[in-house]
Amino acid sequence: MNKALSRLGLAMRAGKIVTGDEIVLKSIRSSQAKLVILAGDASANTQKKFRDKCGTYNIPLVIGFDRESLGTSIGKPERVVLAITDQGFAEMISKSLEIMTEVEYIE
């Protein structure tokens, strides 16, 4: 498992990650989300929804990995979207994602 995914697991154990479409959207609207990660194999509608919402609220968005990798990294079944709610974890994960080839889009 790569560094970014293992850090996601650490953030999950610390209680600093929320998952699921509606919960992540709520955290974006309330500015609790500091970084949103969306699976690269998410549907076009889902990608558009989160790109638009993150753009509106100025929340960094990363599109990469697949839903199985995201879920496995946090000890859950497949996950399409998750949000990191802690600034420190968000910065740490962002730095490790910047150098990765599995990540398709960073905004």
Q: Domain segments of the chain: what residues? A: 3-106
Token output for 63? 């599109």
pLDDT, position 15:
95
Q: Which CATH class is domain 3-106?
A: alpha beta
Segment 31-51 mean pLDDT: 94
Rounded to the nearest integer, the mean pLDDT of the chain is 90
pLDDT above 70 for 101:
no
Output the CA angle 57-63-68, nearest 5 degrees. 125
- pTM: predicted TM-score of the whole model, two decimal places: 0.91
